[in-house]
Structure 1
Amino acid sequence: MAAAIIDVYRALDQWAPFDTQMDFDNAGFLVGRGEREVRRVLVSLDITEAVAAEAGRWGAELIVSHHPVIFHPVKALTDQTSTGRTLLLLAEQGIGAVCAHTNLDAAQGGVNDCLARALELDGVELLCRDGTDGQGRPYGIGRVGTAPQAGCSAAEFAAFIKEKLSACSIRFVETGRPVRRVAVGGGACASMLSDALAAGCDTFVTADVKYDQYLEAKALGINLMDAGHFATEDVVCPALVQFLSRHFPKLEVRRTESHREAYDSV
């Protein structure tokens, strides 16, 4: 017997409990009917119009994404906005949406563990412990570990990051400190710069860094790497495919083929 959308939601809740999401977040079961039978699941970092259309062409009944398809309150559901068009497309095709966001950032084996693994960090541990979930597992945003090529320059490590994450580009501040102890925070985590420094890190890899944060990193003497939001978080999609395939062996689960980095770089 195939699973229902609510079954997939509950399985994800066991891995990355939705009640651990941050206060501003809107992760969860966001679109669809819970008892809708699922045979095909498409996994994507975001649910865009293109991803919704791809799911429809493939015959998927559910999309599991990292970023919530509904983040800000929706006051009108029309084809006059991209969010409206996406939601209408999902509804018209009977496709559900389950989105695991900051709860998956913080969970063991989630976004930040996937990012640390992609960068081949050793001895990975939590950067910040935000709490303990209902199963007694500590969770928190960010990870810390030792760089595989400890002692390399920031420029050399930036090139390594670009290759490992297939990033468009890496913007970075180099302070002259060799790269040894590295903190990672998938997505926009530059506000945790002081946490990385307190954890004894000489380097912090994140995304969406603001100008003043580059200046702060230079003043604090910590190498700061901006690898892009997509590149630092899309690493979780293969883990989502693997998780769902393992828990629901009768489902067809695949990663989107239409969703890529939102911008180009030269």
Structure 2
Amino acid sequence: MPKISEIIRAIEEFAPLPFQESYDNAGLIVGDASLEVTGVLVCLDSTEAVIDEAIANNCNMVIAHHPIVFGGLKRFTGANYIQRTVIKAIKNDIAIYAAHTNLDNVKAGVNRMFAEKLGLENLKILAPKSGNLIKLTTFIPEEQEEAVMEAMHKAGAGQIGEYKNCSFRQLGDGYFQPSENANPTIGKAGGGLEKVKEVRVEVIFDAHLKGRVLGALQQAHPYEEVAYYLHALENTNHHIGSGMVGTLPEPINMREYLLKIKQDFDLGVIKHTALLDRPVKKVAICGGSGSFLLRNAIGAKADLFITGDFKYHEFFDAENRITIADIGHYESEVHTKALFVELLKKNFVNIAVHVSQVNTNPVSYI
């Protein structure tokens, strides 16, 4: 059986922790990562009832979308549901892991599955992030070019969207003169000026992979001193960010589409602004609380923006340029449980994965 740490590694390869927002607390919250997994229970929220469900199903790992702990806990007296849930998990050797805004912010994550359930196509990140890419420039002896490049690519360098092993290469002459204390691969210590055919290489990678990529470069490169330059890029990364926008296969009457969503998602209610006098073709979405993306949705020329947790006065900001449809926080993210199952089944064939049957939605409708 795999260890809890192996499950975590698979999740974080898919949704790296550095992609979470600054306020978030994704990652392993409770438990010992070195333990073998007896079973996994996936849920939206970790609650006492969910921990009871994990115990009943012999699961020693709970994977949730929402972290049970956001701020520091100063006491463990069972005074509230957070403390009681954590205490019960610790007493029963159950690990609690959360993949939250890091899972929201990857293109294949929460909003991708939400969009697919809504029947959207041609998906793009609604508010892509910038400042999280690095360009590495280095110089490799021509004979070792492919070996070094293979090592860096395996470490994650050169992945640009749906394209991998991307690089720019240019052949030229490299010059160096070893000192008396050097241990050169080419030439000799204290020797004269050396001239070597070298390949100038440029590759791009996500900033959180810097240590891994540089480690691979240093390990595979034949030189004692490896020359390289790192440049932080301001480029927009269109595969990381908040929300998503897509199109329907065919335009549809807005009221008809909202009624379909209500039925397909088994919703108690949809709160919405005035329906625009045009069919729906382009739809912007954000699982969970997405009101902060309204300007992005309008800028994308979406007809409809589907999310949760809009406040009363925020509905006025639609100003008849877009229709806002608030379907609820829980309702817009409950499909995340299926995303966890998809991810685990893809990476592991020998673990029992259970989907929580506990409805953790704190909001009810009459």
Partner of 1:18: 17
Residue 181 of structure 1, aligned match among 260, 271, 282: 282
* Ranges in structure 2 where 5+ consecutive residues have no aligned partner: 134-155, 162-238
1:88-237 counterparts in 2 under 5 A?
A: 88-131=87-130, 136-137=160-161, 138-153=239-254, 155-178=255-278, 179-217=280-318, 219-237=319-337
Question: Can you list the C-alpha shifts for 1:70-92, whole angstroms capped at 9, x where unaligned?
Answer: 11221111211110100001000
* Ranges in structure 1 where 5+ consecutive residues have no aligned partner: none
Question: Can you list the C-alpha shifts for 1:79-130, whole angstroms capped at 9, x where unaligned?
Answer: 1111010000100010001100000011122110011000001211111111
Other structure's SS at 1:142 match: strand
Gap change, CA 1:221 and 1:114, over 3 Å in 2: same
Q: Matches of 1:77 and 1:220 in 2, distance apart? A: 49
One-letter amino acid of the structure 1 residue matched with residue 327 of structure 2:
A
1:260, CA displacement in angstroms? 4.3
Q: Matches of 1:209 and 1:244 in 2, distance apart? A: 32
1:22-101 counterparts in 2 under 5 A?
A: 22-101=21-100
Q: CA RMSD in A?
A: 1.5
Question: Can you list the C-alpha shifts for 1:4-39, whole angstroms capped at 9, x where unaligned?
Answer: 111111110000111110011000111101101102
Instruction: Tell whether the 8 Å contact from 2:47 to 2:360 is kept in structure 1 after alignment.
Output: no
Instruction: Tell whether the 8 Å contact from 1:44 to 1:259 is kept in structure 2 after alignment.
Output: no
1:259, CA displacement in angstroms? 2.7
1:41, CA displacement in angstroms? 0.1
Instruction: Tell whether the 8 Å contact from 1:161 to 1:227 is kept in structure 2 after alignment.
Output: no
Partner of 2:353: 253
1:167, CA displacement in angstroms? 2.1
Instruction: Tell whether the 8 Å contact from 1:208 to 1:226 is kept in structure 2 after alignment.
Output: yes
Instruction: Tell whether the 8 Å contact from 2:107 to 2:125 is kept in structure 1 after alignment.
Output: no
Q: Matches of 2:111 and 2:246 in 1, distance apart? A: 11
Q: Percent identity?
A: 32
Q: Matches of 1:81 and 1:223 in 2, distance apart? A: 38
One-letter amino acid of the structure 2 residue matched with residue 189 of structure 1:
G
Q: Matches of 2:99 and 2:302 in 1, distance apart? A: 28
Other structure's SS at 1:183 match: strand
Instruction: Tell whether the 8 Å contact from 1:67 to 1:99 is kept in structure 2 after alignment.
Output: yes
Instruction: Find out whether 1:242 has 2:241 as its counterpart.
Output: no
Q: Matches of 2:81 and 2:360 in 1, distance apart? A: 17
Question: Can you list the C-alpha shifts for 1:42-93, whole angstroms capped at 9, x where unaligned?
Answer: 0000001100111011110100010001112211112111101000010001
Q: Matches of 1:13 and 1:136 in 2, distance apart? A: 18
Other structure's SS at 2:313 match: helix
One-letter amino acid of the structure 1 residue matched with residue 323 of structure 2:
N
Deviates more, 1:126-135 or 1:201-210: 126-135
Instruction: Tell whether the 8 Å contact from 1:90 to 1:96 is kept in structure 2 after alignment.
Output: yes
Other structure's SS at 2:251 match: coil
Q: Matches of 1:39 and 1:243 in 2, distance apart? A: 18
1:156, CA displacement in angstroms? 2.0
Q: Matches of 2:322 and 2:112 in 1, distance apart? A: 21
Aligned residues: 263
Q: Matches of 1:194 and 1:156 in 2, distance apart? A: 25
Instruction: Tell whether the 8 Å contact from 2:44 to 2:360 is kept in structure 1 after alignment.
Output: no
Q: Matches of 1:235 and 1:148 in 2, distance apart? A: 22
Instruction: Tell whether the 8 Å contact from 2:274 to 2:320 is kept in structure 1 after alignment.
Output: no
Q: Matches of 2:351 and 2:46 in 1, distance apart? A: 20
Other structure's SS at 1:185 match: strand
One-letter amino acid of the structure 1 residue matched with residue 89 of structure 2:
L
